[in-house]
Amino acid sequence: MSRTRLPNKLLTSLFAIVTVAVLGFAVVDASSAGAGASARSKLTIMAPAAPGGGWDAFAREAQQALRANGIVNNAQVVNVPGAGGTIGLSQLLQMQGRDDMLMVTGGVMVGATVLSNTGESLADTVPIARLADDYNALVVPASSPYNTLDEFVEGMKKDPGGHSIAGGSLGGIDHLLSGMLGKAVGVDPKDVNYVAYSGGGEVLSSLLSSTTAAGLSGYNEFRDQIEAGTLKALAISAPDPVDGIDIPTFKQEGVDVAMVNWRGVVAPPGIDDATRDELVAIVTELENSPEWADALDRNNWTDSFQPGTDFEDFLVGETDQVTALVKELGL
């Protein structure tokens, strides 16, 4: 039985039509995934980092408080790790107009966007609210010969290269703090041996394996190991002593360094004013819930709630400050 063969040109044309149709469907399907869906019925919170880190913990605390109080019917967390949160940011910026999406952000992302020089920044998002502040701790393994910040600084001044400091992505709070520490004690920030990892879990692993001499990350990412005695805390980056945290500040130890690791949430670009107001209302209800108050207390986070335009103004000032700091440190 003979079969009729279609001309090659016709086959090519048909293939092109089918391909365009399939791709067109995929694009429309992806772009409309959140269209028309109310954040009250289903809200997705993006943690732009790997599971186990500070942003992930923050997102999951928010998820639990939203669920417990019935603020939204369904809240889920998705992780998009990498590059100080800039990979997650890039994805968020492609979700134009999605009304059921929030992304956790913080000071780490501001520095990462400044250093990445991609042209994308938090200014391209819709700021919803700043929620809480955290502080970074400088720690060393239990086997380290250093028991105080002064001892570590003296060793670092003599041999910066031999005193590696593990931390998160380049441009983040950890990185900036390491440069500020170097400058404050007379070490060129460019000579500080900063080793960047993708998240707090990897930083912790490098310390427990003695791959690095010291580590900088959020206090909560080290807390269990500090309490267990496998890590020694030398200083915390808070401007003043923090209730519930028995670690001296850098300033108390004679080093003029302080930096706040703030955290908040932003929405995709292109949402209308009504959607923005609804998201601000949802996060305000979260802020006022007893479960969130408990999360603040358990994690030693400082309440720094700034909704809407107040948070937007803060972001402008924060970006200017971090940009100037990056230039000053020569990073």
Same fold, 43-134+261-329 and 136-236: yes
Q: What is the pLDDT along the chain (331 residues), one digit of tens a residue?
A: 433 333 443 333 333 333 333 333 333 333 334 433 588 999 999 999 888 778 999 999 999 999 998 999 999 999 998 888 999 999 999 999 999 999 999 988 998 898 887 889 999 999 999 999 999 999 999 999 999 999 999 999 999 999 999 998 888 889 999 999 999 999 999 999 999 987 777 888 999 999 999 999 989 889 999 999 999 999 999 999 988 899 999 999 999 999 999 999 999 999 999 999 999 999 999 999 999 999 999 998 999 999 999 999 999 999 998 998 888 888 7
What is the architecture, at CATH level 2, of domain 136-236? 3-Layer(aba) Sandwich (3.40)
User: Other CB atoms closer than 10 Å to residue 182's CB: what's the count?
Assistant: 24
Closest to 202 measured CA to CA, from 174, 182, 178: 174
Q: Alpha-carbon distance 128 to 264, whole Å?
A: 8
Closest to 206 measured CA to CA, from 161, 139, 253, 251: 139
Radius of gyration of the chain (CA): 23
Amino acid at 93: L
pTM: 0.80
The answer to whether 241 and 252 are in contact (CB under 8 A) is yes
Amino acid at 90: S
Domain definitions of the chain by residue range = 43-134+261-329, 136-236
Copy the structure tokens of residue 204: 């912790």
Fold of the domain spanning 43-134+261-329: D-Maltodextrin-Binding Protein; domain 2 (3.40.190)
- What is the CA angle 36-39-45, rounded to 5? 120
